[in-house]
């Protein structure tokens, strides 16, 4: 039964969790864009496709490896306490990274600090998703998830836009970039302050299905999450779809960054470079927002399976038709449609995990989910970096990104049918 955004916001716990998500994702969007400006679009630094790919590798891959183990902690520790501590630790590390940027520190030291900050952000996101069933009725999880994840993603883009504005005011060099990045700490502190207002145990877990020691629980996180996800057909099929999207999106991300820096011409009042990248992110945010408004209706009207397949088809068509011209206007349209399709898929998969996975293992599945998609995106970026010319103009990679969506459709269909056959038997 759908009850609408206004009724959902009447749940005090949901409202508080939503505000904590907003503050956290605003901070994350500002930090990542401020850091991207400091490293990629900083006139005082040079960058290559390989350097960009290395940055993604260092930022995402190590956390992706340890993420499932962290998921075991979400199913063992009081999630309210985890959210508070993680946000406060993140604020301290953001300040440390901002100081490094301001004094010109780069390379591995800066990337490792950013790795930890973004890793904590992912951990917070998994905790927020795992806690959602504790603040809204189970029957309303699809629309509650659509509202919180979609608006959270939009707020993240707003944070990114705020970083672009601050850089224009404070300067694009090391000092201005450092000051911009430091502002992100405010959002992390606010997110922790909001989370601390929950009562102990209010966000779960209700039961602890873990070994006696934390070390054993952490060691079992990866295997438990994988086993539970694999034996849940709706979740496994959704993973196929979302893996395809993340691989294609990783290729598109590298293409867009390089094209924006080296190839795109200004389009009317829209300037190439970091401001243009901000506009592309804004177009993606609009797509995400529209997905939040329409996904629940699509699932109700045509079913989850057709919704996911339709989203994959739309993304494939957009990637090919709008990506090939490699000009700023069509890139904006592609950003809107691909972000819309990707968010529709994500919302369907999130809802499947929240509905079909028990609370005692939900945190581990969400952490596994995060690991798989980060690894997939990083591998796609690394392979693309080895093939892409320095200016980002590659027809071959756009075709590959399109084919990945078609493979996602095939994988989703195959796993869904096997699950249905197993159920019927």
Judged against a pLDDT cut of 70, whether residue 219 lies above it is answered with no
pLDDT: which is higher, 321 or 357: 321
Q: What is the pLDDT of residues 377-387, one digit of tens each?
A: 888 998 998 89
Pair of tokens at residue 1: 């039964």
User: What is the band of 200 on the pLDDT scale with cuts at 50, 70, 90?
Assistant: confident
Work out the average pLDDT over 215-237: 75
Asked if the bond preceding 88 is cis, omega within 30° of 0, the reply is no
Residue 99's pLDDT is what?
94
pLDDT tens-digit map of 276-332 = 887 888 898 899 889 988 998 999 899 989 999 999 999 999 999 999 999 999 999
> Virtual CA dihedral for 156, 157, 161, 164, nearest 10 degrees?
80
Per-residue pLDDT at 367: 72
Which pLDDT band, with edges at 50, 70 and 90, does 226 fall under?
confident
pLDDT of residue 40: 67
- The pLDDT value recorded for residue 186 is 97
β-strand partners of 270: 267
In the predicted model, what is the mean pLDDT of residues 395-417? 94
Lowest mean pLDDT among 104-108, 158-162, 238-242: 104-108
Task: Quote the CA–CA distance of 318 and 122 in Å, as a whole number.
Answer: 28
Q: What is the pLDDT of residues 163-181, one digit of tens each?
A: 988 988 998 788 888 999 9
Return the pLDDT at 122: 76
Mean pLDDT of 417-422: 73
Q: What is the DSSP letter of 267?
A: B
Confidence class for position 104, pLDDT limits 50, 70, 90: confident
Q: 232 CB contacts (<8 Å, ≥6 apart)?
A: 352, 356, 357
Look at residue 308 in the predicted model and tell me its pLDDT: 95
In whole angstroms, what is the distance from residue 396 CA to residue 383 CA? 12
Cα separation, 73 vs 361, whole angstroms: 10
Q: How confident is the model at residue 220 (pLDDT cuts 50, 70, 90)?
A: low
Residue 267 bridge partners (DSSP): 270
Q: Is the pLDDT of residue 42 over 60?
A: no
Sorted by sequence, the CB contacts under 8 Å of residue 35 that are 6+ apart come out as: 97, 101, 114, 177, 181
Work out the average pLDDT over 328-357.
91
- Is the pLDDT at 339 greater than 70, yes or no? yes
Cβ–Cβ < 8 Å for 198, 80: yes
**SS3 label, residue 409:** helix
The residue to which tokens 């306490």 are assigned: 81
% of the chain exceeding 70 in pLDDT: 87
> What is the CB-side half-sphere exposure of residue 207 using CA atoms within 13 A?
5
* Of 121 and 249, the one with more pLDDT: 249
Checking if the pLDDT of 211 tops 60, the result is no
Mean pLDDT computed over 363-382:
82
User: Is residue 419 scored above 80 in pLDDT?
Assistant: no
Domains of the chain from N-terminus onward: 10-206+225-424 (1.20.1250.20)
Q: Residue 224's pLDDT is what?
A: 74
Is there a contact between 132 and 4 (Cβ–Cβ < 8 Å)? no
What's the rounded mean pLDDT across residues 335-342? 96
Higher local confidence (pLDDT), 69 or 283: 283
Task: Specify the pLDDT at position 91.
Answer: 96
Place of tokens 């780069």: 106
Name the least confident of 26-35, 180-189, 312-321, 350-359.
350-359
Name the average pLDDT for the chain. 84
Non-local CB neighbours of 37 within 8 Å, separated by 6+ positions: 163, 164, 167, 172, 177, 180, 274
DSSP-H helix ranges across 132-232: 141-170, 174-182, 184-195, 214-230
- The token pair at 413 is 């269909």
The predicted structure's pLDDT at residue 414: 92
Nearest to 109 by CA among 85, 93, 88: 93
């Amino acid at each position: 039964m759908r009850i609408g955004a206004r009724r959902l916001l009447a749940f005090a716990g949901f409202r508080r969790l939503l505000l904590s998500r907003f503050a956290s994702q605003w901070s994350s969007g500002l930090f990542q864009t401020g850091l991207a400006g400091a490293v990629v679009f900083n006139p005082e630094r040079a960058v290559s496709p390989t350097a960009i790919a290395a940055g993604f590798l260092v930022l995402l891959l190590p956390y992706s490896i340890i993420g499932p183990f962290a998921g075991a902690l979400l199913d063992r520790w009081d999630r309210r306490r985890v959210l508070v501590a993680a946000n406060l630790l993140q604020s301290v590390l953001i300040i440390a990274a901002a100081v490094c940027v301001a004094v010109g520190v780069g390379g591995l030291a800066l990337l490792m600090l950013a790795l930890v900050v973004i890793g904590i952000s992912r951990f917070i996101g998994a905790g927020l998703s795992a806690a959602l069933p504790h603040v809204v009725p189970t029957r309303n999880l699809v629309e509650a998830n659509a509202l919180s994840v979609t608006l959270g993603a939009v707020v993240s883009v707003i944070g990114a836009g705020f970083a672009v504005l601050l850089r224009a005011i404070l300067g694009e060099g090391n000092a201005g970039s450092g000051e911009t990045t430091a502002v992100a700490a405010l959002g992390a502190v606010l997110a922790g302050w909001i989370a601390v207002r929950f009562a102990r145990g209010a966000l779960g877990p209700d039961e602890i299905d873990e070994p006696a020691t934390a070390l054993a629980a952490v060691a079992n996180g990866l295997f438990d999450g994988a086993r539970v996800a694999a034996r849940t057909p709706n979740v496994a099929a959704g993973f196929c779809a979302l893996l395809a999207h993340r691989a294609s999106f990783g290729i598109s991300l590298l293409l867009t960054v390089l094209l924006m820096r080296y190839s795109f011409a200004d389009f009317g009042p829209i300037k190439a470079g970091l401001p243009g990248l901000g506009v592309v992110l804004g177009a993606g945010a609009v797509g995400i927002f529209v997905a939040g408004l329409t996904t629940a209706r699509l699932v109700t009207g045509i079913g989850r399976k057709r919704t996911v397949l339709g989203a994959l088809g739309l993304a494939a068509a957009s990637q090919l038709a709008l990506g090939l011209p490699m000009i700023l206007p069509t890139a904006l349209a592609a950003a809107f449609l691909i972000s819309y399709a990707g968010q529709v898929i994500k919302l369907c998969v999130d809802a499947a995990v929240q509905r079909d996975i028990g609370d005692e293992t939900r945190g581990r599945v969400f952490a596994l989910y995060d690991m798989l998609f980060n690894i997939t995106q990083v591998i796609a970026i690394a392979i693309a970096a080895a093939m892409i010319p320095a200016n980002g103009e590659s027809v071959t990679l756009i075709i590959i990104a399109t084919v990945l969506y078609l493979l996602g459709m095939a994988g989703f269909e195959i796993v869904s049918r096997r699950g249905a056959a197993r159920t019927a038997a």
